[in-house]
Amino acid sequence: MAVDLLLGLQWGDEGKGKIVDYLTKNYNIIARFQGGPNAGHTLEFDGIKHVLHTIPSGIFHKEAVNVVGNGVVIDPVIFQKELNALAKFNLDFKETLLISRKAHIILPTHRLLDAASETSKGKAKIGSTLKGIGPTYMDKTGRNGIRIGDLEFDNWKEKYRQLANKHQALIEFYNVDVQYNLKELEHEFFEAIESIKSLQFIDSEEYLHQAQIDNKTILAEGAQGSLLDIDFGTYPFVTSSNTTAAGACTGLGIAPNKIKNVFGIFKAYTTRVGSGPFPTELFDEDGARMAKVGNEFGATTGRPRRCGWLDLVALKYAVQVNGVTELMMMKGDVLSGFKTLKVCVAYKYKGEEIQHLPYNIEAENLEPVYKEFKGWKEDISKHSDFDSLPQTLKDYIKFIEDELHVPIKIVSVGPDRKETILR
Ligand code: IMP
C-alpha cells in the first residue's frame, strides 16, 4: 500500500496536529518523520485541548499504531511528560506507540548548548525553542550521537559521559552566562530513560516496509513547516531537519516511489515564531487582530507569533518542493470580519517584480505586491458544507487554487475536530 504524507507549507504551526487527528480514521499507522519537542501539535475534541510534542497525532485513536521515526530527535524528559499527560486517556502505549531504535536522543547538555549558542549570537539569534534540537542533529551528522537503540546495551552510559563532558567543555568555550545544575538535570534524564524503556523499540524502516507488504495504510506526519527546512527554508533562521517531503523518506526509510498523496497544510494567512525574514509581516491593527482572534501563541514556548497576510510566492515554492497533491486551508474563521484581505502575489526586488524566493530574502530587500479581496462578515465556524460558505471566502479559495494548481480539499473553520469542512 502506498504511503501518504502530511506536512506544513509555511513556518510551522499550520494546524498539522488537528488534521492528522482528523484523518487518522483512514490510516492504520501514523509515523512522525522529523523534528522533536520543538513542535507543538494542538488537538481539540470533546471539549478537551491537548498539545503533543513528539508523540504522533494519531495517538487518540485506539486502533492506530503511532511510530516515532528514525528522523525524530527525542528528549526523554519531555517524552515522559507527554506520556504522563496522556495517562488520563487510558491508552495502551505498549501496542500503539513504537519508537525507532535509530532515533537520536536529546541530552540535557544539548539543551544547554542550544542556550549557549543562542546567547552567543546576540541579536542574530535564531529564536530557537531551546529544546536542544540543533546540537542533537549536529551530533547525529557529526557521528557522535546516542540513539534509542543504544539504551539496549550496557555501555551506553559511558558514551553518554564522554559526550556530556565534551558538551560541558563546549559550553565553557562559548563563555556566556548559562546557569545549570547538571546533577539535577541528569537525575530527571536517567529517570525518564528508565520509564521510556518500557515502550517498544523497533527497527522502524523494517516495520514500515512489512506494513506496506501487509497492505496497511500509513500517514507520514511532518513537524514544523517547509520554510523552516534546513536546506530550503529561510536559512539560517530554520530548524535543523528536512521538514519537506524528502524528509519522510530519510526519516522513516520509505522509498520515494511509495509516496502517493502529499497533503500540504497552510493557514489562510501567515505566521512565524522566532527570528528571520517574513515579507508579509504586519505591524498594524490587522496583524494584532490575527494574533488575537487566531490565539497566535507558540504551543511549545508560549511566545507570541508574528502575523501577516498570505504569501502565495512562498506557498508556491513550498508546493513545488514538496510535490503537494492536495491542500488543506486552516483558520479561515480567523479572517472573518476583515473588510479587505490581501494576498502577496509577487515581490518587488531590486527594482523588479519577481515571483520566486530570492536567495537573500531579508525584509529590507523585498516589498510584497498585494492583490486585494473583499472580506466576509459572518462567523463561519458553524458551517459544515462548502457551498454554504460566504461567496467572498469561496472567491479567496478559488484564487489560491488557481494560482497553486492544486485543489483545496479541507477547509478548517475552527480548532475542534468537528469544525472541519471536507470537500
Ligand atoms: P529550533 O528548531 O527549536 O532550534 O528553532 C529554530 C527555528 O524554528 C525558530 O525560529 C523556531 O521558532 C522555529 N520552530 C521550531 N519548531 C517550530 C514549530 O513547531 N513551529 C513553529 N516554529 C518552530
Chain segment 72-121, per-residue pLDDT in tens: 999 999 999 999 999 888 888 888 999 999 999 999 999 999 999 999 99
Those residues with Cβ within 8 angstroms of residue 302's Cβ, 6 or more apart along the chain or in another chain: none
Judge whether 377 and 337 are in contact, CB under 8 Å: yes
**pLDDT tens, position by position, for the chain (423 residues)?**
789 999 999 999 999 989 988 999 999 999 999 999 999 888 888 888 899 999 999 999 989 999 999 999 999 999 999 999 998 888 888 889 999 999 999 999 999 999 999 999 999 999 999 999 999 999 999 999 999 999 999 899 999 999 999 999 999 999 999 989 999 999 999 999 999 999 999 999 999 999 999 999 999 999 999 999 999 999 999 999 999 999 999 999 999 999 999 999 999 999 999 999 999 999 999 999 999 999 999 888 888 999 999 999 999 999 999 999 999 999 999 999 999 999 999 999 989 999 999 998 876 789 999 999 999 999 999 899 999 999 999 999 999 999 999 999 999 999 998 999 999
| Burial track 313-350 (b if 16+ CB lie within 10 A, e otherwise) | bbbbbbbebbebbbbbbbbbbbbbebeebbbbbbbebe
| Dist. CA 406 → ligand 1 center (Å) | 27
Is position 224 annotated in a ligand binding site? yes
413 is in an annotated binding site: yes
Does 233 show up as a binding residue in the annotation?
A: no
What is the whole-number distance in angstroms between the Cα of residue 274 and the centre of ligand 1?
7
Number of H helices, E strands in the chain: 12, 20
Mean pLDDT, the chain, as a whole number?
Answer: 95
**Residue whose CA is closest, atom 2 of ligand 1?**
239
Annotated binding-site residue? 14: yes
The phi-psi region of residue 385 (left if phi > 0; otherwise alpha if psi is between -120 and 50; otherwise beta) is: beta
Does 41 qualify as catalytic in the annotation? yes
| Residue 122 CB partners (closer than 8 Å, separation 6+) | none
Question: Does the model's pTM come out above 0.75?
Answer: yes
Q: What is the dihedral of CA 62, 218, 209, 139, to 10 degrees?
A: -90
For ligand 1, the distance from its centroid to the CA atom of residue 228, given in whole angstroms, is 7
Q: How far, in Å, CA of 342 to CA of 370, rounded?
A: 6
Write out residues with Cβ below 6 Å of ligand 1: 11-13, 38-40, 126-129, 131, 133-134, 223-224, 228, 237, 239, 273-274
DSSP state of 387: G
Ligand 1 site-directed mutation target among 18, 20, 224, 297, most atoms within 8 Å of CB: 224
Percent of the chain with pLDDT over 90: 87
DSSP state letters, 216-243: --EEEE--S-GGG-TTTSSTTSS-SS--
C-alpha 95 – ligand 1 centre gap (Å): 31
Spacing, Cα 272 to ligand 1 middle (Å): 9
SS3 288: helix
What grid cell was written down for 346?
509577487
Helix ranges, 225-304 (H) = 246-252, 285-293
Q: How many beta carbons lie within 10 A of that of residue 131, not counting itself? A: 24
- Name the closest-CA residue to atom 9, ligand 1: 128
Q: How many CA atoms lie within 13 A of 216 on its CB side?
A: 20
CA of 63 to the centre of ligand 1 (A): 31
Q: Name the active-site residue from 53, 140, 167, 383.
A: 140
Residue nearest to atom 19 of ligand 1 (CA): 39
Annotated binding residue at 298? Answer: no
Matching residue, cell 551530533: 139
Q: Which of 14, 34, 38, 52 to mutate to test the pocket of ligand 1 (most atoms within 8 A of CB)?
A: 38
Atom of ligand 1 nearest to the CA of 273: 12
Is residue 140 among the annotated active site residues? yes
Grid-cell match 530548524, residue found: 239
Whether 331 has a binding-site annotation, put simply, is: yes
Distance from the Cα of residue 239 to its chain's centroid: 10
Collapse the DSSP code of 306 into the 3-class scheme (helix H, G, I; strand E, B; otherwise coil) and give the result. Answer: strand
Q: Which residues are within 8 A (CB) of 320 and not within 5 positions of it... i.e. 6 or more apart?
A: none
pLDDT in tens, 248-291: 999 999 999 999 999 999 999 999 999 999 999 999 999 999 99
* CA atoms within 13 A of residue 389's CA, in its CB half-sphere: 26
Alpha helices in 197-244 (DSSP H): 204-213
Tell me which of 13, 75, 114, 229 is the catalytic residue: 13
The one-letter amino acid at 243:
T
Distance CA 174, CA 134 (A): 16
Distance of CA 346 to CAs 26, 392, 406, Å? 38, 22, 19
